[in-house]
Amino acid sequence: MKNAHDGDRPGLSRRSLLARTGAVAAALAAGPVLGARPAMAASWRVPGEDEAHRRTWMAWPSSTTIWGADLSKIQADIAKLAREVAAYEPVVMCADGSTAASRARAACGSTVTVTGSIPVSDCWMRDTGPLFRVDDAGGLDSFGLNFNAWGENATRFYGIPASAYDKDRVVAQRVASYSGVPFAKSSVVGEGGGVEYDGDGTLMATESCWVNSNRNPGKSRAQIEAELLSRFGASKMIWLPGVKGQDVTDGHIDGTARYIRPGVVMVQLAGAVRPDVWTANARAVRDVLVDATDARGRRLRVLTIEGPDTLPRIPSGRRAEFLSSYMNWTVTNGAIITTQFGDTAKDAAAKSAIAAAYGRPVVQLNLDGLYGNGGGGAHCVTMQEPGR
């Protein structure tokens, strides 16, 4: 997500450690819709990602305003990931018009469905797409989190015009319409990558990206929590420390801690390549979770893995800005798809630990373009639609 004029200068990736404003303070801590409805009835819930999917949604990046010379690298990784996901469940790739759709089809192949009827600005479907909910009677609906380009950080950090993300600001309701499900806007602003949910009543999120004036000015933590719990069909929020101002997301939780299933979470403790602020935050997240209970009163089982100690394919000057997170995996019906970084021992240990936790095969891909130039991963660019 770099400015077209940034080239390969370090510190300007999606999770860059340097804000252009210089205000780099670690803090542990709009289009038409189908009618905004009151918060959902108790029977509605967002299923856990480990539950069965109907399909996965993705978005094809085609903006040189956003990506500049890095666009081809990002497209190659998006296509590689889409083909892999499609081996386990259907994939719908949204593309910005017929020309972009044609290029996406050529890159992704026949196993991926590409539509040019849902315009997109960029590839971050986890943050821009709808959250799908199910009810006890087999119904399906959805809601959006009012994506505003990560609190307009894309403009403040990288100088990308706010208008470059106009299509992504309304993509959630367009995806919902394509799926034929009702859609409503939440009363808070945020991104899907900023909240983890177990499908059984418990959420976890970082304060750094939700209780933040760039997204929810004037709203208290209690107000934000109440809206998220209501929309997700949950009854308990676990607030976690975060890191504000050092990456464009303000510290999304999905790079550090993830639900495996209800009652079980995994945390990645930073490897040697991660700067100290992220190492400290990962430990703080783990410390909160080991003492936490969920909505059912269960003490959480906290699994840990370690990040890579080396990034042999990445130039030394860019390693600190690289998103070296195994945690940013995407869950499919048949496998967990994550990344490998070239640290043979750590890659193997992470693969083994994730496979044991889920009881599913784990596929590791080289997605250096996406994780390095983009600063996001497999989870960031996918959104699951649950089966009914």
Give the model's pLDDT for residue 369. Answer: 95
Give tens-digit pLDDT for 270-282: 888 888 898 999 9
Give the model's pLDDT for residue 27. Answer: 36
Give the model's pLDDT for residue 319. Answer: 87
3-state helix, strand, coil in the chain (%, to 5): 30, 20, 50
Q: Looking at the predicted structure, is the pLDDT value of residue 242 above 60?
A: yes
Class level of CATH domain 53-386: alpha beta
Give the model's pLDDT for residue 20. Answer: 32
Confidence of residue 388 (pLDDT cuts 50, 70, 90): confident
Give the model's pLDDT for residue 2. Answer: 36
Which tops the pLDDT comparison, 365 or 319? 365
Write down the domain spans for the chain.
Answer: 53-386
Q: What type of residue sits at position 213?
A: S
Residue among 94, 123, 209, 380 flagged as catalytic:
380
Give tens-digit pLDDT for 150-159: 999 999 989 9
Half-sphere exposure of 189 (CA within 13 A, CB side): 19
Please say whether the beta carbons of 199 and 13 come within 8 A. Answer: no
Give tens-digit pLDDT for 51-85: 999 999 999 999 999 999 999 999 999 999 999 99
Give the model's pLDDT for residue 172. Answer: 98
Give the model's pLDDT for residue 3. Answer: 36
b/e sequence 359-379, b meaning 16+ C-beta within 10 Å: ebebbbbebbbbbbbbbbbbb
- Average pLDDT for residues 216-240, to the nearest whole number? 98
Confidence of residue 1 (pLDDT cuts 50, 70, 90): very low
Give the model's pLDDT for residue 95. Answer: 98
- Judged by DSSP in three states, 257 sits in strand
Residue 380 in tokens: 């960031």
Mean pLDDT over each residue of the chain, to the nearest integer: 90
Give the model's pLDDT for residue 287. Answer: 97
b/e sequence 55-92, b meaning 16+ C-beta within 10 Å: bbbbbbbbbeebbbebbebbbebbbbbbbbbbebbbbb
The contacts found for 362-365 with CB under 8 angstroms, 24 or more apart, are 362/329, 362/335, 362/336, 362/337, 362/338, 363/84, 363/335, 363/336, 363/337, 363/338, 364/338, 364/339, 364/340, 365/80, 365/81, 365/84, 365/337, 365/338, 365/339, 365/340
Catalytic residue at 123?
A: no
Give the model's pLDDT for residue 276. Answer: 84
Please say whether the beta carbons of 249 and 193 come within 8 A. Answer: yes
Q: Looking at the predicted structure, is the pLDDT value of residue 121 above 50?
A: yes
Confidence of residue 195 (pLDDT cuts 50, 70, 90): very high
Give the model's pLDDT for residue 16. Answer: 40
Strands of the chain, DSSP E: 53-59, 91-94, 113-115, 131-134, 140-144, 183-185, 195-197, 202-206, 236-240, 257-261, 264-269, 301-306, 330-331, 336-339, 362-365, 383-386
